[in-house]
Each structure stands twice: as structure tokens, then as C-alpha cells.
A and B are shown apart, each in its own frame.
Chain A
Amino acid sequence: MRKWLPFGLGGRPQEPVKKEEIVSIEPVVHRSLALNVLFNQFKKEKKYRILDLGPALGGNVDFFSQFRCTICIEDLYSTLSSFDYLSPEDGFSYDAVFSYLMPYIRKARFDLILVWDLLNYLEREEFKHLIMHLGQYSRSGTLLFSLISTQQHIPETPCNFRIVDDERLEYRFNSSVLKDCPKYGKSDFDSLMPNFRVCNSFLLRNGFREYLFLYE
């Protein structure tokens, strides 16, 4: 069975860009303005429901443990990468795959969705259907945090992000090989995530733009 997702990209694996000036894979800590905005809104007494699409990192769990919260950790990219999927001819549908992998109860609503840099690794249709799926578990006011690369190339696989504190994020690169970046921008967000609007965005010096999207 051929691999269809992911996501490389949409079943059309790209040749990695083999450049000499490969990114360093040493972890680096950067200031995160979006996290600062986000956690300034968090209140100790409220219970939060958080969906983390990244891998389970102890540091992030430790950070969130200061709040009353339920965290759901999906590690979506590695799950998708490790599975074989049906091709569209076999009756494949994005909705079915995402519903299968993230089968929350119907009335589940998250307060915060941490997408990290995953969107950079999705083709437009994948992007759109993932956001549609997440929209089912969002309510008015749900925040979605994402890092969109502004660079020509990105590491071949998503980074891991560890929250150091409420204004610093550690980037851990999993690959030193680069690939092309789709460079999603505002017009893409308007068409691919119609129920979310940009609430805050911050251009960072490290080649990412941080976004906080608000579900309406």
C-alpha cells in the first residue's frame, strides 16, 4: 500500500534540499511574544482544555501543570508519518482520517490548540481539512497557536518546541536537511481557515512568524 499522508506533501514527496548551509540542529531558545500574550490571559483558577498536536515533552507538561488543565497530546506528525493510509481511490477521505486519529467526544471543546509548526508541512487540502476538524472542537474564543515559516526552506520534519517559560520557547530541530516551504500567508489563512481570524502575529528574527488565531 502506498503512503498517501503525510504529508510529503500530499503524496508527492519532495526531494530534500541538500545544502551545505544546513541548519544547526542544536536546540536554541527564542523569545516568544505570542506565548507571552497567551499566558498573560491564563488564570490560575480556571480549568483549561489544551490540545497539543506536537510530541509529548515533559517540559511542556511541567509548564502547564501550574494551571488546572487537561492536556491532550497527539504527536500528529509522527502518527501520520508512521502509518500507511488508504489512497483516495480506496475511498480515502481527510475527514475520516482526522476523525479516526483525533476522535474526541462530540461536545469536547478546547480552549487552546497548539499546532506549532505543523501547518508548514501540510499541503493546502491537508491544511484545510485539519483546520476544519479542529474547528469541530473549538468554541468562540478558542485560541490556536502556530509558527509559520517565512523562509524559503524549512527542516525536513517539524521541530519540537519546549516551553521554557511564559515568554521563551526552545526550538529542537529533528532534521538537518531542508525542504521547500509553502510560505503560507494571510490570503491563505483567509481561505483555508475561515472560522479563525488572526488575533496576534509577531514576526521573529529566526525566520518564523508566530500567530495566535481566534475561533469565531
Chain B
Amino acid sequence: MWKKTDVESNEVPGQPAREFERQPMREKAIIGPSLVFKGDLTGEEDLTIQGRIEGKVVLKKNGITVGRDGRVKADLYAKSICIEGDVRGNLYADDRIVIRETGNVKGNLVAPRVKLEEGSKFKGSIDMDSVQKQAVAPQSPKISTPPGKSPEAKESAKGVVQPKLGIKMDQPSSKT
């Protein structure tokens, strides 16, 4: 299921690698394009997602990359997160979150540094307050379904169901 690849190596083309000069190998797991994973995923290595994931991914000391073919419906927790594919869920990073130009994210982002590249698509909230970032509890992503497209949505549009998802704003603000 997991493919291991070396992502760092001291090898120089045309020269034999000398073992004693090698840096420690940093392993990276890949969920390939044909793979579908449902559930909670935890670990201590970098992960690239090219397939589909539903659930939760927690790699607090490592990086998560959602590749162009990646389709994720999950909350992601990592040191750094890079999105090139499609994500519905909340992203929590201790370092940074980058949404590349091909990335499409609906959810809430919590990280000290957030970068949206030109052309990327994003809907949701971005919390760049490093003081509070650790205290934020995971919430469901705000994923809008048009009110006219499902019976539940129709009820919602009529005011029967009031979805209460979305951003976390738990403290009254002082005046600007």
C-alpha cells in the first residue's frame, strides 16, 4: 500500500555515492492515485496523497502534500501542508500551509503562515494568529451545497434547517 521513496540524497550524477557522506534518509509515504483510504491515519513520516482519503490525517511532526490528483475529505494535522489537489476539510499546521495554483480547498486553515498562490481556489476561514492556533478545536468544514440541490438543502433554504458551521469567533472584539 505504501510506497517508500528517498527524498533526500547526496548522490551526484556521474559520481559514486559515499555512504559516510550521506545524510539520514527521510522517508516519504505515498498514497497512489488508485488508492482510497477511509479512517484515521497517523504516523511520523512525510506523506504525499495522490489518491483519495476520507477521515483524519495526523502527522504532527511531518509534512503532508496533497498532489494534483489527490482528493481529500478530511481534517489534516501536520507541521506543514501543501495542497495541489482538492481538499474539503480543516487544515492545521504548526509551520505553514501553502495552496498551490492547482489547489482547491474548502475549509478552515489554522497556521502561523498561509500562502495562497495565484490561481488557487479557497473558501473558508484563515486563522493566522499564532497565539491562539494551538487552542482551536477542530470543527467541521463549511462545505456549501446549493439550497436547491437536495431535499435537505431545500429545507435549509426554507429556513427549516439552519446549518451552524464555519469560522471560530469566540471572543467579542474591542472597537477598531
Interface residues of A (CB under 8 A from B): 1, 41-42, 46-49, 56-58, 61-62, 64-65, 68-75, 79, 82-86, 90-93, 95-97, 99-112, 139-143
Contact = CB atoms under 8 A, between A and B. Distances in A.
Tell me what chain A mostly uses at the interface: helix, strand, loop, or mixed.
Answer: mixed
Nearest to B132: A47
A121 to B, nearest CB: 19
B126 interface: yes
Contacts of A46: 174
Contact of A73 (B124, B127, B144, B165): B124
Interface in B132-170: 132, 142, 144, 146-149, 153-154, 156-159, 162-170
Nearest to B147: A100
B164 A141 contact: no
A58 B118 contact: yes
Nearest to A162: B118
Contacts of B144: 79, 83, 100-101
Given A86-B154, A92-B157, A99-B162, A112 B146 contact: no
Given A65-B128, A70-B126, A103-B164, A49 B156 contact: no
Contacts of A57: 116
B170 A74 contact: no
Contacts, number: 144
Nearest to A140: B175
12 contacts: A68-B131, A70-B126, A71-B125, A71-B128, A86-B157, A90-B148, A96-B147, A96-B158, A99-B162, A109-B169, A109-B172, A111-B173
Contacts of A74: 123
A92 B122 CA distance: 27
A97 B157 contact: yes
B61 interface: no
B147 A111 contact: no
A85 B116 contact: no
Contacts of A107: 169-170, 172
A83 B172 CA distance: 33
B121 interface: yes
Contacts of A83: 144, 146-149
Contacts of B115: 58, 61-62
B117 interface: yes
B8 interface: no
B15 interface: no
Contacts of B120: 56, 58
B75 to A, nearest CB: 18
B11 interface: no
Nearest to B117: A58
B23 interface: no
A73 B123 CA distance: 5
A105 B140 CA distance: 12
A36 to B, nearest CB: 15
Contacts of B147: 83, 85-86, 96-97, 100
B114 interface: yes
Contacts of B127: 70
B176 interface: yes
Given A91-B154, A97-B157, A103-B142, 7 more contacts: A65-B114, A90-B148, A101-B144, A104-B166, A107-B172, A108-B167, A109-B173
B173 A85 contact: no
Contacts of B117: 58
Contacts of A142: 176
B157 A68 contact: no
